[in-house]
A and B are shown apart, each in its own frame.
Chain A
Amino acid sequence: MTVIESRSTNQLPMARSAAIAVLIVVGFFLPRLLGGTSVAYSTLTTIAIFAVMCYGVDVVLSYLGEVSLGHTLFWAVGGYTAANLSVKYGLNGWSTALATVGLCVVAAGFLGAVTLRTREFVFSLVTYAAAVVAYEIAFNWDAIGGSDGIVGISALKLPFGFATYVGGTQEELWPIAFVLLLLTLAFIARFRRSRLGTTALMVQMNPPLAASLGIDPRKVRLAVFLISAPITGLAGWLYAYQRAYVGPDMFESYFLVMMLTAVVLIGRRVLVGPLIGTAILIAQQNLLSLGGDWNKIILGSVLALVLIFWPTGLVGFFRRFGKTRA
């Protein structure tokens, strides 16, 4: 069983902070270190966006132990909100991001409340069905794009009062994606130590203990689901600006399988796990692609095989390997 690393924060706090700072700086200049080409920038921006997308599912899957199959819905809510508000009303990035968070919380609250009193797998069924239904609505409702989607989303504008940051090219979008990823990581790290995070873990690992402490697992599930939705939603928000297009393809099962695979590949309950998982998977798809259908087979197989043979992910695999060697 993988447990949360209980590294003491008092131990060499300076060294730890310095190491994190170095990692952040290196991370920021990574596209330049990789040659500074537009391919490097777009691949790394995509990795950052997809990693944030996966962290939404990670919160639910790793800490709550439930399977949400509806996070493509929040991903699409982010994309459609950014596209509609910026193209039709000319709103800037802050407003569209705020609207994304609001709409995701409403959608998650609705789904979570409806499934509140049902058995666990009904939660998965209903979230899956919700994504299919949302796809149908997005496909047929011409006012929000219809089957053609929305093209020509203008560059992301983030006014800071005195100046406005414009993310037009992949190179200009990278800092935004990087900051969004850092904020997400900081949020997840904080969540792991929060009351809600530890309670969720207790509900998953030791339900009788949670019950004896008077914890209602349904409320914990609802709360965790609520905070997970805007994370994936904000990734979809940035994805809309990166592609300058949104359409019903944001509901494709590819994104769902991608989110789950990125989380389980490295191992659940590992802070940087989804990020590394996303990086490996996107690198395979962008740089070592074997064609769309083969990529589907690879992605699906990785997901199934990891869970069948190494349920604790690559981390658990290496840990066991290390133990037998030692």
Chain B
Amino acid sequence: MNVAQQIINGLVLGSGYACIALGWTILLGVARLVNFAHGQLYMLGAFVTWYAMTRLGMPYPLAILAAIVALAILGALMQSAMMGLVMTQNLTSLMIVTLGLGYVLQGGSALIFGGNPQTIPGTLARAKVDLGSLWFTWQDVLVLAATLALYGAVWLFTQKTRFGSVIRAVAEDPKLAELFGINAKVVYLLVFVFECSAVALGAALVAPRSPILTSMGFNEVIMTFVVVVLGGIGSIGGALAAGLGLGLFIAFFGAFVAHAYTTAAAFAVLLALLVIRPAGLATK
């Protein structure tokens, strides 16, 4: 049953895309900020996990925590440096600054972790589950379960708690929110720290599936773009649906058309949707 296996592969891929894109969705949708260092942050999260496990001998759960803490601190530093641009809503400069910082992260990581490809050790990624002719790994199950749980938690948090409405107020009008006694800087800082922690968690969960390289950030980030734009920028449910849908599309395209051109195919889907429904995709 090749089709059933491809559906499983698609869900596996798609939950990974959605997991990595969660931080960006929140950042863009809730705070209206763009972070082009996202791919490099993913790379760094994967390498911190790898370093914690192989060099410091930490068990996998502890290594995940280490990656989250490390990237949260980095995120706080980055956002503090960019705070002036954020408060003046200078999006053009912010895009370029994050791109520059991403390049710094890439160079710095190559210095610290070396230029060789590495694999995150782990038993889950090697533990296969066989169901007759179908198979997947326990790591895949973990990614899917964690992604669904994370999206659920974030949706509840932004829609149902007071802090969620505070964040949305700041995104709508930072100056007006400050008049109501909300400290917009703290909100922006927390949202950015959340983005970095979320991508660290995503990297720690998704990266054990394949070899990691310090130069992979540039290419890794494109699936996040596609997911976020397809999902309707900033829509949490939309991003989850877009991630899973894109995963299924990629799995089938890779299996039946051409494995080498999957990124190009994802991009073609993005372009087609931008032409058909530009307003519907660019706005909520």
Contacts and interface: CB of A to CB of B under 8 A. Distances in A.
Contacts of A65: 92
B73 interface: no
A24 interface: no
Contact of B264 (A136, A256, A293): A136
B267 A257 contact: no
Interface string A236-255: 00000000000000001110
A124 to B, nearest CB: 6
Interface string B231-255: 0010000000000000000000000
Nearest to A304: B100
A303 B97 contact: yes
B96 A296 contact: no
A170 to B, nearest CB: 28
A133 B282 contact: no
A300 B104 contact: yes
A61 B97 CA distance: 14
Contacts of B275: 114
Contacts of A125: 34, 225, 229
Contacts of A311: 90, 93
B10 interface: no
A293 B107 contact: yes
A126 B270 contact: yes
B113 to A, nearest CB: 10
Contact of A121 (B95, B100, B222, B271): B95
A257 B103 contact: yes
A194 interface: no
A301 interface: yes
B92 A303 contact: no
Contact of A115 (B104, B263, B274): B274
Interface residues of B, number: 47
A99 interface: no
Nearest to A299: B103
Given A69-B36, A132-B263, A307-B85, A296 B282 contact: no
Contacts, number: 137
B8 to A, nearest CB: 25
A294 to B, nearest CB: 7
Interface string B100-136: 1111111110110000000000000000000000000
A299 B102 CA distance: 11
Contacts of A164: none
Contacts of B91: 120-121
Contacts of B34: 121, 124-125
Given A133-B264, A304-B101, A118 B110 contact: no
A121 B91 CA distance: 8
A293 to B, nearest CB: 4
B84 interface: yes
A156 interface: no
Interface in A261-314: 261, 264, 292-297, 299-304, 307-308, 311
A136 B278 CA distance: 25
A114 B104 contact: no
B155 interface: no
Given A125-B225, A137-B264, A117 B278 contact: yes
Nearest to A122: B282
A136 B261 contact: yes
Contact of A297 (B82, B104, B279): B104
A301 B95 contact: no
A260 interface: yes
A130 B267 contact: yes
Closest 10 CB pairs of A and B: A296-B107, A303-B100, A300-B103, A300-B104, A304-B100, A117-B278, A140-B260, A297-B107, A133-B267, A300-B100
Interface of A: 61, 65-67, 69, 114-122, 124-126, 128-130, 132-133, 135-137, 140, 252-254, 256-257, 260-261, 264, 292-297, 299-304, 307-308, 311
